[in-house]
Homo-oligomer: A and B are copies of this chain.
Amino acid sequence: MTTSKKTSSPEQTPLEEAYPTTVEGLVLEERLGYALRRAQLKVFKHFDEAMREHDIRPAQFSSLVVIEGYPGVTQSSLAQTLSIDPPRVVSLINSLEERGLALRVRCKRDRRSHGIFLTKTGEALVERLKGLAEQSDLEATQSLSEIERRQLLTLLRKVYASEEGGD
């Protein structure tokens, strides 16, 4: 409301020069949540570029890999494995089915339940995508040595695979 609080003289350093471009020196630099998000966005950006030709999103790639490894997997099991909300898995599988990459097959024993399988096209594509994803990881983390990359992977796994402590 008061207009007199900024009576800076022209000699004063232009405001622009005091502006940040990185979080260096701020407490954000010390926060794992922040660092994880920034690193993840960077790696996903590379992934999206690598997969553009095939129009594949990260969750579609992950699903194809799990279906390849576990032919006949159910939607609920896929949701649990990838930690994705079940409704999102339904639309994910719909998109893979529409593109002829995967298909739902009704189980003989439990006719309400469907197993998901890759089509021949899906099998061929996932092979190609696995190579692209590996290459994309390497490109996004060029600043790391091979040993550092391995360390990072090990530490991340330790974070996401650990059981939540009960409290």
- Interface residue A157 (Cβ < 8 Å from any Cβ of B): yes
C-alpha gap A25/B164 in the complex (Å): 22
A interface size (C-beta, 8 A): 86
Interface set, chain A 22-51, CB cutoff 8 A to B:
22-23, 25-44, 46-47
- Interface residue A107 (Cβ < 8 Å from any Cβ of B): yes
- With A37-B40, A66-B20, A151-B151 already in contact, the answer to whether A109 and B26 are too (CB < 8 A) is no
Tell me which residues across on chain B come within 8 A of A111, comparing CB atoms. 2, 5
Assess whether B165 is in contact with A39, with CB atoms less than 8 Å apart. no
C-alpha gap A15/B130 in the complex (Å): 26
Tell me which residues across on chain B come within 8 A of A73, comparing CB atoms. 19-20
Closest 10 CB pairs of A and B: A143-B162, A38-B160, A35-B156, A19-B77, A36-B40, A39-B159, A152-B155, A32-B137, A39-B156, A39-B160
Q: Which residues of A contact B (CB under 8 A)?
A: 1-2, 5-8, 14-16, 18-23, 25-44, 46-47, 58, 62, 65-66, 69-70, 72-74, 77, 80-83, 105, 107-113, 115, 130, 133-134, 136-137, 139-144, 148-149, 151-153, 155-162, 165, 167
Q: A16-B77, A20-B69, A26-B65 are in contact. List 13 more A-B contacts (CB 8 A).
A: A6-B107, A8-B108, A15-B72, A15-B107, A19-B74, A19-B77, A28-B62, A32-B149, A33-B43, A36-B40, A36-B43, A38-B156, A140-B159
